[in-house]
Structure 1
Amino acid sequence: MNLIIDIGNTFVKYAVFSNNDIIYFLKDKDFDNDIANQVIKDYKVSSCIISSVREKISYNLKTSSVFELSHKTKIPFNIIYSNKETLGADRIAAIVGATELHRNNNILIIDAGTCITFDYIDNNSNYRGGRISPGIMLRYRSLFDYTSKLPFLEKNKDYDFLGMNTKNCIISGVQNGIVSEIQEIINVIKKENDDLLVIITGGDAFFFEKEFKNTIFADEHLLIKGLNRILEYNA
């Protein structure tokens, strides 16, 4: 059994894999060593991989093999990147998850979470670059924090192209702005590869489901499936 621990900006996810199947899943706010060790005990976990985008965490896991994802980790694609150590663990895992599900494709992976990340990998498994952009709530928060009168708003799945009051103008600006940004990146890369496969995942992916046609909306476990693949690749 493999234990996957994905420590993101907002949530920590624990998943147990039996071969390629998820048999246990838990999402929490913070990493808890006791929870991890209880899962290890209950499911007789033999190997564990930890991926974190937060500051260095301390852990004491009671299993024979604990593997921490870093830029030195062997991965099943080629990174053409000026400073590999700065390519986030979450982005690496999402790329591996996507390429494992859709081999030999030109793929753009868009992960819509706290930040929105864009990562492009070609059909020869070469990483071609990406972008990092503020996510929905970061944009709403910045408008509230850096102005004196604009209100703080929450995500809204229903929004018009143009607003007729301040609230709706903010919602339109934030969420249509993201839609336009995503569409432009897709259009530019498709000029090079018209067979581009686009995968949108992450906690906020469903906000944009209606906006994009011919797009695969991956399940929420894309990243942890990638981590399980990395763990198996390094076994």
Structure 2
Amino acid sequence: MLLTINIGNSSIRFGLFNNNYNLKCNCSWIINSNPHRSLDEYILLFRNIYQQYGIFSKLIKNIVIGSVVPTLTNIVEQSLYKIHKIKPIIVDRYSSSPIIHYSHQLGTDLYANAIAAYTLYNKENILVIDFGTALSFTCIDKYGNLKGVIIAPGVNSSLSALIGNTSKLPKIKLKKPPHILGEYTETCIQSGIIYGYLSMVEGLINRINQELKKNCFVIATGGLSHIYTPLTKEIHFKDKLHTIKGLKILFHWNK
């Protein structure tokens, strides 16, 4: 089996696939990137997760890692080597793939998003919106040309900044409020974060479509995609595993 790992600033997503070209994920889980853990702590954590999900470590024959956090890449790689005695393949924007891009600053997660979109969806223009630590928009056409990227502050980052810089604000649960105009502090902030970001997402989709002069097929991924997708008709499909599918494709191109 193939273990795929997407290391982000807020979380680490794992996916377990068969070693063939099938992109159906057999099992997936997520852990926080913080707090900092030692090598031994990661080894113990990974072993406990395997036990929890009934995963036999000997069945994992290949490992691929995509990361935007260099300080975490090495320790995760070392801990997995200790468990599996397998050297993981590390992929990034310079790894071989079926798409064409000229960016020297493209994050591995955005690269994987573009690759998965191009491989899985036969559409004129595809837009992947990743509701992660940052809110990102990655656009690619059916010929494998990366059209461009938009990056904005992430939803949780904005919410944390607001609460952290305001002494009397309570901790806010991120969910759809009952009305646009809130009556209490919590629902007022929920409306701003949910509908404010939704308006930005819909507005950027509209501007991208205008610039390309064709409507994009829009995919949502990332930890908060399940909150925003039901609230708009501009998002056509949601796949929380979209990025790790891209990492799996990168593995097959670079193994």
Task: Give the alignment partner of residue 52 of structure 1, picking from 67, 71, 74.
Answer: 67
Q: Once the two structures are superposed, what CA deviation does each residue of 1:17-55 show, in whole Å capped at 9, x if it has no partner?
A: 11223233332235834637x969635333221112223
Letter in 2 for 1:225: K
Letter in 2 for 1:76: P
What is the CA RMSD across the aligned residues, in angstroms? Answer: 2.5
Gaps spanning 5+ residues in structure 2: where?
A: none
Task: Give the alignment partner of residue 177 of structure 1, picking from 179, 186, 196.
Answer: 196
Contact 1:47-1:63 within 8 A present in 2 as well: no
* 2:248 pairs with 1:203: no
Letter in 1 for 2:240: E
Letter in 1 for 2:31: D
* 2:203 pairs with 1:222: no
Q: How far off is 1:196 after superposition?
A: 1.1
Q: How far off is 1:225 after superposition?
A: 0.8
Q: Write out aligned runs for 1:85-104 (5 A).
A: 86-104=105-123
Task: Give the alignment partner of residue 126 of structure 1, picking from 123, 126, 145.
Answer: 145
Query: Aligned partners of 2:43 and 2:111: how far apart in 1?
Result: 24
Letter in 1 for 2:107: G
- Given the superposition, is the C-alpha separation of residues 166 and 22 from structure 1 closer, same or farther in structure 2, using an over 3 Å criterion? closer
* 2:214 pairs with 1:194: yes
Letter in 1 for 2:245: K
Identity %, equivalent residues: 29
- Given the superposition, is the C-alpha separation of residues 193 and 234 from structure 1 closer, same or farther in structure 2, using an over 3 Å criterion? farther
Q: Write out aligned runs for 1:30-109 (5 A).
A: 30=33, 32-33=42-43, 35=46, 42-56=57-71, 57-58=74-75, 59-60=77-78, 61=81, 62-64=84-86, 66-81=88-103, 84=104, 86-109=105-128
- Given the superposition, is the C-alpha separation of residues 144 and 212 from structure 1 closer, same or farther in structure 2, using an over 3 Å criterion? same
Contact 2:67-2:92 within 8 A present in 1 as well: no
Secondary structure of 2:171's aligned partner: coil
Gaps spanning 5+ residues in structure 1: where?
A: none
The aligned counterpart of 2:179 is 160
Contact 1:4-1:15 within 8 A present in 2 as well: yes
TM-score by length of 2: 0.80
The aligned counterpart of 1:24 is 27
Q: Once the two structures are superposed, what CA deviation does each residue of 1:182-233 show, in whole Å capped at 9, x if it has no partner?
A: 0111111112243310111111111112322152232221111111011011
